[in-house]
Amino acid sequence: MEFDKELDGIDLDSSNWKQLQQLRSSNAHSGPPDLLLWEQEEVDAKNRALWAGYKLRKGMTQKSEPFYEERDIARTWRLLRFFRSVEGFLKGELDLTGRHLSRWNMLHKSFKDYLVDFLELWPTLGLVITREPMRFKPEIYFEIKSYKVLDQDLWKSVMNRWRLTEYHSYMAIDGMEHALEEYTEAKGIPRIQKLCLLHLANELLYAIFSQTQFDSARMLSFTCKRLNAIGRQYIFHRRTFSFEYSYTKVDHNLPLAPQYTKLAQIAKVKLMDSAGFFFSRPDLCQMVDNLSLSNEWGGSLFAKDEDFSLDDVESGFMARISEMFTQAVSLSTHLTTLNLFRNCLDSDMLRAICSLLSLNVLEVKFCDLPVETREPLLASSLTNSHLTNLKIMMETSFDDGSWDVWYILVLFSNLRTLDIHGLGENPLPMALETLWTRWTFMDTLERLCIEPLCSQHIVELASWIRGKLVGGLPRPLRLTHFKLSVDYFLWDVWTAQIIRALRTAPLQVLVLEGIHRDSAYPRLIEVVAIQFPDLIGLTLVMRDSDRQTQNKPATWPCSSWEYAPSLARFNRLEHFGWNFLINEDDASTRTLLLFENGFIADDDWERAREEDTAMAYDRDDHCAVLPFATACSTINSFGLLKGNHFSLYQITREVNGKVNIKWDFCWGFQELQRWVPDPFIGGWPYIKDDCKKGG
C-alpha cells in the first residue's frame, strides 16, 4: 500500500526544489468528476503542503509545522480510501473507478500484508476511554477513544513500514478494525462488479448523457470510441459566446481608458476566433439547440466613466460584435433555447430570432432595443408563433434602453410563460396602452410573473389582463400561475381589481407580494377562496409600512391562528406561504414539563435525544403551522418568510391523524420554485413543447 511516496521523497533541506514545484503542478486537480474517494481533498492537502514547504524554503516563513501537518492530512485521505475501498468491495459499494477483479487483487494483497502487522501489534495495545465536557454545554460529556501502546519499538516499526505518523495512530487501528469486521462477515469474498457502463443499451447511454453537465459529458466521451460517438451530439448541443470583461485585470490606480481599450481588443480577438471556428463548421451549427450570447461590456458598466467608450476603440467596434452575435443565431437553425445578455436587439437580431422555427425558450437579460427599431417593429410583419416561454430582465437603475424591451412582445403571439423582472433602484413601469393593446398572446398565456411593478400602474395591469369587455364580461383567460410583486404596497381596491381581472382564469398558483396592512385580514384569504376555490398554491406577502419596498417578515394585524380557518374554503390547496413574523428565539413552553417531571441526568443519552426531538417539535414556527394543517386537510407544504427567503415546511399525516411537520432545506429548495418563482433561479418553470427537438 502506497500512501504518499511523492511527499515522502521530499526533504525540506534538499536543494532540488524544482521537484517540489513540479509535483505541485502534476497534482493539480483537473476538475470533476472525482474518480476516487476523497480525491479532491487529498490533492488540496498535497498542494497546501507543497506551498507551505515552498514558503519555508524561500524564507517567507520560519514555521515548518504547516508542511508536516498538511502532509499528514493528505496521507489521512489515502488511508481512509484504502479501508473504505476494501469495505466497498465487500459490501458492493465503491467509487466511480468500479469493483473490478484486477483492482481487488491489488487491494487484497496490501490488505493481507497490513493484516499481518495489525495482528502482531494488536496484543500490545490497550484501549483508553476518556470523557471530555462539551464546549458549549460543559454539563454534558462525550467519550474519546484512544490506544495506549505497550511495545513502542514494534509500534514505530509498523508505522515506518506503512509511512504513517502519530497523527494516524488511532485511525490506522480503528479503520482496520472496521475493515476486518466487514472482511470476516463477507468471508473474504468480494462483490465483483458484473454490469459495467458499456454493458448498457445505447438508449440508456443516451439518457445518461442527456442528464450530464457539459464538462462531465466531455470527459466521459474521451474514454472510448463508443461513448465518444454518443456524446458528441450532447457535447455540442450547448454553445456560449461571450464578449468578456476581465475586471480582475484592471488596476484602478492607473488611467482606466488605456486598460479598457486593451482588454476590449483582447476580448474581441478571443471572441472572433471562437466564433470563426464555429461558423466554419455547419455540422456543429446544426447540432446546437441551446445558445448563450453574452456582452459583459454592455449596460451600465461604464455609465459613470466619461473618458471611455467602446466606440472609441475602433470604428464600428460594437457593430462587429453585434453582427457576430446575429450570425450565430442565424446559423443555429435548430435552436430550442436562446439566452441573450446585454445584447443589442436591432432589426437584424429580431429577424434572426423570428426565423427560428424550433425556438421554445428565450431569455432576454438587460438587453437594449435601439430607439430607431421601435416604430419599424410595430409596423413590420415579423412574428414568431413558435416561442412559448419568454423571460425578460430589465435594469431599472439606469435609463439605458432596457425598459424599451416591452416592445418585443408584439413579436410573439403564442406565449405560454412570461416572466418579467426588474433589477435596480426603481420599479418596473407598465408598458404604454398603445403597446399592450397590440399584444396577442393573452389567449394562450398560462404563467405570468411581473416584479416589481410600480404601484401606480396596477390599474393599467388589471386593464390589460381583463382586456376588452365582451357582452359585459372580461375575456376568458388560460392563466394557471400568476405572480405580482409591487415596489411599495397594494391598496385593497387595487388588490380587488387584480382579483376581478383574473376571475375568468383557471388559476392554480397565486402569489401577491406587497399587500397593504389594511387589506391583510382573514377576509382577504376568503375572497381569494371564493374567486378561486380550486387554487393549489397561495402566497401572500404584506408590507409593514408605507415606506417598505423589500420582502421581509411582518407583523400581520391578527394572530396567526385566526387566518387558518379561511383555508378550509379551498377544495384542494396544497401550499400556503406568507411573511408572518415569528420570534423563534422564545423559550419553548415544554421546559415547564422538565420542572414537573425532573431534569435529565448527564448520562441519560436516550432521554436527552427524545427531549431534543420533542423540543424541536414545540418550536414556535412549527406550532404556527399546526392550525393551518388542521384547518386544511389537503395542505402538504407551508412557506414562512425568514429574512429575505422562504423556508418550507413539509406536512405529513399518519393514519391515526397525527400531523408531522418537518423542515428540510433540500426539499424546500426543490419545491419552492413551484410556488414562489425566483427570477435568479429561473422564474416560473418553463412549459416544454414535446413536439420540438429537445422538448
Q: What digits encode the pLDDT tens for the residues 214-242?
A: 677 777 887 788 888 888 777 778 888 98
Q: How far apart are CA 331 and CA 282, in angstroms?
A: 8
pLDDT at position 692: 43
At 111-170, the pLDDT tens digits run 999 888 888 888 888 877 777 776 666 667 767 777 788 888 888 888 888 888 777 777
pLDDT at position 360: 92
Cell 409596423: give the residue: 379
Has residue 539 got a pLDDT over 90?
A: yes
Give the number of other Cβ atoms within 10 Å of residue 257's Cβ: 15
Q: Cell numbers at residue 547, please?
A: 415606506
pLDDT at position 224: 82
Q: Which residues contact residue 289 at a Cβ distance below 8 angstroms, ignoring those fewer than 6 apart?
A: 237, 238, 332, 334, 335, 336, 337, 358, 693, 694
Helix locations, 92-149, DSSP H: 101-121
Q: How far apart are CA 582 and CA 620, in angstroms?
A: 7
Has residue 620 got a pLDDT over 70?
A: no
pLDDT at position 670: 63
Predicted model pTM: 0.68
The β-bridge partners of 288 are none
Query: What is each CA distance from 540 to 505, 513, 517, 582, in whole angstroms?
Result: 19, 6, 12, 16
pLDDT at position 395: 79
Mean pLDDT in residue range 81-102: 82
Q: Which residues contact residue 564 at a Cβ distance below 8 angstroms, ignoring those fewer than 6 apart?
A: 627, 628, 630, 631, 632
Q: Cell numbers at residue 279, please?
A: 461558423
Of 68-82, 206-220, 368-382, 423-437, where does the model show the most confidence? 68-82
Q: How far is CA 542 from the centre of its chain?
A: 27
Has residue 326 got a pLDDT over 90?
A: yes
pLDDT at position 458: 87
Q: If DSSP codes are grouped into helix, strand and coil, which group holds residue 547? A: coil
Could you write out the DSSP letters of every residue in 506-541? ---EEEEEEE-GGG-SHHHHHHHHHH-TT-SEEEEE
Share the mean pLDDT of the chain: 80
Mean pLDDT in residue range 195-202: 82
